[in-house]
Structure 1
Amino acid sequence: MDDLPDNLLCQILSNLSTKEAALTSVLSKRWRYLFALVPDLDFDSFSSQHTDHTSFIDFVDRVLKLRGKDHVNKFSLKCGDGFEDEDVYPWISNVLRHGVSDLSLHVSSSLVYWLPSKVFASKTLVRLKIGPEDGPIVKLRNVCLPQLKTLSLDSVVFVEGEIGFAKLLSGCPVLEELSFCNLEWGYWGSCSVASKILKRLTLYCAHCDDNPKRVSFDTPNLVYFKYSDNLAQKYPKVNFDSLVEASIDIRMTNDQKSNVRYVLDDDEEREMVGNATELLMGLCSVKTLYLSYDTLETLNFCCEAMPVFNSLTHLTIENNPEVGWESLPELLKNCPNLETLVFQGLIHKATDKCGDVCLCKGLQKISSSLSHCPVKFLKILKFGEACGDDDEVEDMEMEMIKHFVEKMLNLEQLIIYYNTSIKDDLVEVLNQLQMLPEVASFKCKIQVISDSLSLLLMAPCLLYQ
C-alpha cells in the first residue's frame, strides 16, 4: 500500500472517521500526518479516545493546523457541555475559510449560545446541518448561501422568529431540501414556507398547548412533504402542485379535545372545533399519503368536507385504540383510484359512526361500501401487537380482516405482518382465512409474514364456495 500515491491513500482514509484515521499515524513516517490531509473530517467528543476536553481540543487544533490551507470537503463536529465558544468558533471559521461544502454541527445551546453568523454567509456550502435537541440560538444578519441545496435544522431558535426564517429562505436561492425539526410556536405564532425551487420539506413542530395562527405553503415544485404540527387556525395558502408523497401528523390541542368531549356529551350533532379542510384540499393531488392516528382524530372533528383524492394510489393509516374511524368511510369513498391500502394496526375506538368499513357495532349484516373500494393490495402491519396475551383482541383483528376479504371485490393480494416467534401462530391465521365460506374476489392471494421467523406462508387462490 505504501506504493500508492498520497491522494489515493487519503481517499481510502476518508472512509474512516478522523479518530480511526488518526490511528494510522503510527504505521510509518509517511503515515504520520497523512490522516490530517483527508478532505472529510469527523470529530466526535462523545466517542473520542481522549479522556478529557483538553486533549480533544488539542487534537482538533492539531489536525486543522496540519492541513494548512488545504480544501475541506466535509466537516462534522459533535461536542456537548464543557467546551467554550472560543474553542469551537475558530474551528468553524477555519473550515469555512477553506471552502467547506458539507457542514454538520451537533452542538448544544450551552456550548454555542450565538451561532457564528459566518455559517449563513458561505459561498461554498452545499449542505448544512445544525442540531441537536436544545440547539443553538441564531441571530441572522445577512444570509447569503448561493450554493446551499440541503438545510437541516433541529431545535434551532431564531431570535427574529418567522421574520428570521423568511430571511433564511430568501438567502438560499437554490435550496432543494429543507428539514426543520422541533419548531416551538411560543417563539413564532405563524410560518410561511415560500420557494419555487424546494423539492423536499420536513416540518416537525414540538408538542405544545397552542395552535399556530397561520401556516402557509407556496411550494409548487415540492415532491415530498412530511408535516407534524398542531392544527393551525388558518392555512391561507397551500400550493403543492407537484406533490407526490406526503406524511401528515396534525393534532388537536388539549383545549380542542376538551371541546370535543363537551360537544359529544351535550349534542349528538358533531361540531367542528377546527378546520383542516384547506390543508387537505392542497394535498388532494398527492399519490402516496400517510396519515397518523392523530390526523385521523383531527379529521373526525376538524374537517367540514373531505376532498376527492383522484391521484392517490397508496394510503397508509396509523391506528390507536383511543381513536375512532369516523372519517375513514368518507376518505375511502373519495379515493377512486386507490390501489394499495396499509393499516398500521387495526385496533381502534369502537363508535357508531365508523360506517360499514368495520364491525365495531355489528354491521356485518348490512351491505358494505367496501364492495366499491378499488383497493387491490391490502397490507396489515403490527397484527397481534396490540393484544399481547389478550386472545379476544386478536380475534377482533381477525374478524376485521375477514370482513375486508369478504367485502372487497377488487382485492388481489392480502399481506399480514405477524411478528411472532411461533410458526403455528402463522399457520393458524392462514388456515382461518382459507376456511372462509365466502370471499369477494377470486383473485385474492394471502400471505402471512413474520420477520422473527424469517418465514412467509402463502395461501393458494381463494375461490368462491
Structure 2
Amino acid sequence: MRSYPQTHLISSFEILHISLTTVSMSAQPDMISNLPDELLVQIVSCLPFKECVRTSVLSKRWRYQYRETTNLGFKESDFVSPSLQDPDRIDARQRFVDFVFQWVGRVQNRVVESFELCLSSPRAYLAQVEALIAFAVRKQVKKLVLDFSSPTWRISPSVPDHEVFVVVPESVYNLTSLESLTVSGCRGFDTKRFADPGIFKSLSFGWMRLLDVEYLLSKAYRLVSLNINNCWELDIVGMEGNLREVSIQNCKFPDVSLSFDLPRVDIFKYSGDIIYLRFNRMNTIIKEVHLDFQMLIKEYEDPNDPNTLCDHLYGLRSAMTLTVCPYLLRVIQQPIYQMHLLQPLTTQHLVLKTRLHPKEFNGIMILLSNCPDLETLTLDMLPPTSFSTDPTYPGIDHKTYWMQNMTCICLMKTLKVVVVRNFVRGRNDLNVLKYLIRYGTVLERVELYLPYGVDEDKKKFANEGAEMLQRSSKHVHVPCAQFLKR
C-alpha cells in the first residue's frame, strides 16, 4: 500500500465547521444540528476542549452544547501568552485559575470522563491544584492529565528541584477508574503505589525523577501506550509486553543499554543520548519508527564512535515509515561501519530531518540504497545552524555531488512521491530535487511546502524554484503550496 504523508493540516473544529457550512448552503436541512442533544454531546466530547468551546459560534443550536462536554481540558497556554511579563502574566494566570474553578463549579452534578490540568510552576496555587485533583477523583475520571512542567525547562540543561512543587496525592494512586494517566513535573512520584496497575491502557510521564518503571510495566498487563520524556534516573534495563506505542525522549539512564521485547509494537520513538538499544523481538511490520540524536551534534565537530546506530537500524528494519535525524545521516557514511550497516530495510516512507549539508549527502544515498521498496521520500528541512551555513566539507563538493551518475533500486522501480517540508529554495535543495527527478523513472510528484508565515519575497523565490523544476521534467508534477500550520 502506498504511504502518502499528510500534507494539509486542519483542526477537528474546522472539519465540523466546513461540514455544517456545506449542509447549510445546500437545499438539504442541517442534519447534524438536528440530531438529538445526546448525540451532539457525544460530538463535542470527541473534540479537544479548546475546539469544543469554539463550537458555540457555529449556530444557535450549538451555542451552549459545549458546556455538556464530558472531557475537560484546561491549559494555561490557551489563556496566557508567553510574551506576557509580570505583573500582566500574574494577572492572566489568576484569571485562568478562576475560569477553571467557575467551569468546575457548573459541572458538579455531570459526568466527567477525562480531566486535564496544565499549569506551569504552580507554587502560588498548590491549594487550588489539590482541590481540582480532588474534583477529578470524585468524578472517577477515565483519563487524567496533570502537567506542571515549565516551558523554561525545555531550554535548561536540568530541572532545579526548587521548581518542582506538586506531589501526586494518594487519592490518584487509589483511583481505579483510570485507563489513561499523564503525570509531568511532579516530585516524589512512586510507581509502586498504584492500587491496581492493571487498569492502565496508556501511561505518560515527563520532567521528573522516575524509578521502578519495570515494576509498573510488569503489573500493567493491559498497557498499550507508554510515553516517557525528559525523565531522569530512569532505572530500566528492559521493556516487554503487548505495547503498541512506545516513545522515550531525552531521558537520563543510569545504565548504558535497554532491551525491547515488543512483538506487537506499531510505533516506536527514541530521541536523546545514544545508548545500546537491543531489539530482541519486534513486530514483523512496524508502522512508524523515529530516531532522533540531533541534540548530540556539536558545531564543527564530527560524530564520535557510533557503531550502535547500525544495530538500531537493523533491529528496526521492518519500519514502514522511518524518520531519522542529521546526526544519523552523518554517522552511517563512515566507511568502517558501512559493511556492518548495509542490510535492506522494508521502509516505504523515509523521512529525513536534514539541513542538506554536504556532511549528510553520503548518508542520504546510503539510506536510499538500502530502501529498495521506498515509495515516498520526505525531506523535512531544519533551520540552519552556524556550521550548516558553511558548505565546505573535505572530499564532497556541494555543487557537483548530485550531478554524479549514481542511482539505486528505489529510484528506478518504486519511488513515486517526494515531499519537501519548509522549502525555501536554499543552496542544495534544488540540486537534490533535480537529481531525484532525473533518476526517478517512476516518480510522479514532487510536493513543495513553504514554512508557515513565510514572507512574500521568499514565497515568490520558492515558487520560481518550483517552476524551474517543473520545466526540467515532463513526467513529474511539481506543485508549490503554503504549508498549513495546525
TM over 0.5: yes
Is 1:293–2:326 an aligned residue pair? Answer: yes
Which residue of 139, 144, 150 maps to 1:103?
144
Equivalent position amino acid for 1:181 in 2: N
Match of 2:113 among 44, 49, 73: 73
> What SS does the aligned partner of 1:402 have?
helix
Distance 1:231 1:114, change over 3 A: same
How far apart in 1 are the matches of 2:175 and 2:351?
41
TM-superposed CA distance for 1:157, in Å, is 2.0
Q: How far apart are residue 102 of structure 1 and its match?
A: 1.6
Deviation (angstroms), 1:446: 2.6
> How far apart, CA to CA, are the structure 1 residues paired with 2:371 and 2:90?
58
Structure-2 separation of matches of 1:398 and 1:256: 25
C-alpha deviations, 1:395-415, integer Å up to 9, x for none?
A: x43333223322333323223
Give distance in 1, aligned partners of 2:48 and 2:417.
Answer: 43
Matches within 5 A, 1:2-401: 39-42=70-73, 47=79, 71-79=111-119, 80-83=121-124, 85=126, 87-108=128-149, 110=163, 112-131=165-184, 134-143=185-194, 144-158=196-210, 161=211, 164-184=212-232, 187-188=233-234, 190-196=236-242, 198-206=243-251, 213-233=256-276, 235=278, 237=280, 239-251=282-294, 253=296, 260=303, 272-301=305-334, 303=337, 305-320=340-355, 321=357, 323-345=359-381, 351=393, 360=398, 362-363=400-401, 366-370=404-408, 373=411, 374=413, 375-384=415-424, 387=426, 393=427, 396-401=428-433
| Separation in 1, partners of 2:466, 2:107 | 63
* CA root-mean-square deviation: 4.6
Shift of 1:317: 1.0
Compared CA separation, residues 432 and 177, structure 1 to 2 (3 A): same
Q: Please report how far the alpha carbon of residue 363 of structure 1 lies from its aligned counterpart in structure 2 after TM superposition.
A: 4.9
Instruction: Provide the C-alpha distance between the structure 2 equivalents of 1:60 and 1:190, rounded to a whole number of angstroms.
Output: 37
Pick closer, same or farther for the CA change 1:183–1:240 going to 2, 3 Å.
farther
Q: Cα 1:58–1:260, aligned 2, differ >3 Å: closer, same or farther?
A: closer
The answer on whether the counterparts of 1:123 and 1:146 sit within 8 Å (CA) in structure 2 is no
In the alignment, the residues of structure 1 paired with residue 137 and residue 193 of structure 2 have an alpha-carbon distance, to the nearest angstrom, of 16
AA at the equivalent of 2:381: G
Structure number with higher helix proportion:
2
Seen in structure 2, the aligned counterparts of structure 1 residues 256 and 213 have a Cα distance that, compared at 3 Å, is: farther
- CA distance in 1 between counterparts of 2:48 and 2:244 reads 31
Report Cα offsets for 1:301-326 as digits up to 9, x if no partner: 59552243442111111212384223
Aligned to 1:407: 439
| Counterpart contact for 2:419–2:446, Cα < 8 Å | yes
Shift of 1:82: 3.5
Displacement of 1:342 = 1.7
Equivalent residue letter for 2:323: Y
CA drift at 1:98: 3.8
Q: Which deviates the most, 301-310 or 99-108? A: 301-310
Displacement after TM superposition at 1:221 (Å): 0.7
Distance 1:214 1:257, change over 3 A: farther
Q: CA 1:69–1:212 in 2, change beyond 3 Å: closer, same or farther?
A: same
Residue type matched to 1:216 in 2?
S
SS for the counterpart of 2:259 is strand
Contact 1:189 1:213 in 2 (8 A): no
Which structure has the greater CA radius of gyration?
1
How far is 1:246 from its partner?
A: 1.3
Quick one: structure 1 residues 345 and 95, their matched pair in 2 at CA, closer, same or farther if it must change by over 3 Å?
closer
With normalisation by structure 2, the TM-score equals: 0.66
Q: Does the residue aligned with 1:433 lie in a helix, a strand or coil?
A: helix
Query: Aligned partners of 1:297, 1:433: CA distance in 2, in Å?
Result: 27
- Percent identity of equivalent pairs: 20
Deviations 1:280-316 (A, max 9, x none): 1221111111112123234345955224344211111
TM-score, normalised to structure 1, is 0.69
State the SS of the aligned residue for 2:373: coil
- Distance in 1, matches of 2:98 and 2:410, equals 69
Identify the range of structure 1 (239-248 vs 134-143) with the bigger mean alpha-carbon deviation: 134-143
In 1, distance between residues paired with 2:40 and 2:466? 56
* Structure 1 letter corresponding to 2:258: V
What is the distance in 1 between the residues matched to 2:48 and 2:341? 52
| Counterparts of 1:16 and 1:41, CA distance in 2 | 9
Classify 1:6/1:351 alpha carbon distance in 2 versus 1 (closer, same or farther; 3 Å).
Answer: closer
Does the 8 Å CA contact 1:288/1:313 hold for their aligned counterparts?
yes
Distance between the aligned counterparts of 2:122 and 2:293, measured in 1?
A: 34
Cα deviation digits, residues 321-377 of structure 1 (max 9, x gap)? 3842232222211111111112223997654667xxxx6373567531247633222
Preserved CA contact (<8 Å) 2:148 2:166: no
Unaligned runs of 5+ in 1: 25-33, 262-271, 388-392, 454-465
Distance 1:370 1:383, change over 3 A: farther
2:449 corresponds, among 414, 417, 431, to 417
1:95, 1:365 → 2: CA distance? Answer: 62
Q: Deviations over 1:34-89 (max 9, x none)?
A: 99997544556774999699998898778778867865322222344344655534
Asked whether the equivalents of residues 314 and 340 of structure 1 are also in contact (C-alpha less than 8 Å), the reply is yes
Q: Which amino acid aligns with 1:75?
A: F
Report the alpha carbon displacement of residue 107 of structure 1 after superposing the two structures with TM: 2.5
